[in-house]
Structure 1
Amino acid sequence: MPEHRRADARRNYARVLAAADAEVAAHGAGASLEQIARVAGVGSATVRRHFPTRRALLEAVSRTRVEALCARARELTGEDDSRGALLGWLGEVLAYCVTARGLAVALAYDHEAAHENSCSAALEEAGEPLLRRAAHDGAVAAGVTVADLITLAVGIVLATEHTPDPAAHAQRLFHLAVAGMSPP
């Protein structure tokens, strides 16, 4: 939120974001924008003024979680086991997506507007050194990209979110996919 906005606009933004965080946590990416406005004590036009699209709202709600994942990628970059570091980080991305309802949708690629997805762009940038090092060490097949890995994690989360135990099912599919990601 730009700091040059009026104080009341900044307060409204913060209230809408807090309400959105709670509603997305409770109801997922499909949380009602009208309910978010009610909880924040503002009109639905105020919500739409701050967040013109649902994706913009989900990205804002997910920003803190994404920043934590980016910081974790930086922490893991110096690990001796480059494959373990990459897979550990990707497993954390997967776990966050499973537990943070709405994050998978925020990370999902809209191929028409992929350049506008700030969450995915931040994770790609953070994960690139991990992937580059693992590829250099021969621990990952040539041609694998961070975008591929994020798309894989998002796909797994979206495919398992309505199963009886989404976390366990997502981890199982992730481990199956990792075997396919490995070099011959």
Structure 2
Amino acid sequence: MRADAQRNRERLLAAARAAFARAGVETSLDDIARDANVGSGTLYRHFPTREALVAAVLDDRYEALAAEAARLQAEHSPGEALVAWLKLFVNHLMTYRGLAASVATVLHDETSPLYSACHAMRAAAYELVATAQRGGAVRDDIDASQVLHLAAGVAWAGEQSAADRAGVEHMLAVLMDGLLCNGRVPRPFG
């Protein structure tokens, strides 16, 4: 990529991060281009769809979530690792208004740029759930995809009700009580 094209891409990503934080992921793409001091055509050359822009903004976060899953598995029991990671995942989804609904929508759409961007994160979640199930910590009648959808639902509900962090954590604890075999969220993560 030419240096000027790379600068434009970085300005677009910075403007998108700021706009998403201010107004959510459904903010106007034309406003993002204007904030980046580029034309709409430049935005669409770099990011042909809203999902492509959202995926690019979130790419490093998804890699960090995948790395955090590995760290948690190495340091905690399977149930504790899953609970701690799901808290991180829900907090990630609440970073930008509308993100939880966007992620839940594309979890099975292999043609979506957002689906591709969260591949490592999804794989990490699948491993966390499978490990917790093999260890007897999580019920075996649910799969990782369903767990991710439920966590996205908690984030969405928190966003829709304007719940504070404590309220969102309580909803997640109730969800985990239903997922864990012993029905109790492990401490100190609960």
Change in Cα spacing, 1:96 to 1:17, as seen in structure 2 (3 Å) is same
Q: 1:141 to 1:91 in 2, by over 3 A?
A: same
Residue of 136, 139, 142 corresponding to 2:140: 142
In structure 2, distance between residues paired with 1:33 and 1:92: 28
2:27 aligned residue (21, 27, 31): 31
Cα distance change on mapping 1:63 and 1:7 into 2, 3 Å? same
Q: Which residue of 1 aligns with 2:109?
A: 113
Tell me, yes or no, if the aligned pair for 1:135 and 1:141 is still in contact at 8 Å. yes
What percentage of residue pairs aligned between the two structures are identical? 37
**Partner AA of 1:74 in structure 2:** A
TM-score, length basis structure 2: 0.84
Gapped runs of 5+ residues in structure 1?
none
3-state SS of paired residue (2:161)? coil
1:123 maps to amino acid: M
Gaps of 5+ in 2: 183-190
Name the structure 2 match of 1:176. Answer: 174
In the alignment, residue 16 of structure 1 is paired with which amino acid?
L
Counterpart residue number, 2:12: 16
Give the deviation of 1:36 after TM superposition.
0.5
Q: CA deviation at 1:162?
A: 3.3
**Cα distance in 2, alignment partners of residues 88 and 111 from structure 1:** 21
Q: Distance in 2 between matches of 1:62 and 1:151?
A: 18
Q: CA deviation at 1:99?
A: 3.2
Measure the CA separation in 2 of the matches of 1:112 and 1:75.
26
What SS does structure 2 have at the residue aligned with 1:108? Answer: helix
| CA-based RMSD | 2.1
- Count of matched residue pairs: 180
Match of 1:84?
80
Partner of 2:185: none
Q: CA deviation at 1:173?
A: 1.6
Q: Is the 8 A contact 1:17 1:60 kept in 2?
A: yes
Q: TM-score, normalised by structure 1?
A: 0.87
1:156 maps to which of 154, 157, 180 = 154
Counterpart of 1:46, as a letter, is T
Structure 1 155/37 Cα, relative in aligned 2: closer, same or farther at 3 Å? Answer: same
2:123 equivalent in structure 1? 125
Deviations 1:83-113 (A, max 9, x none): 0111111111112222344542442233672
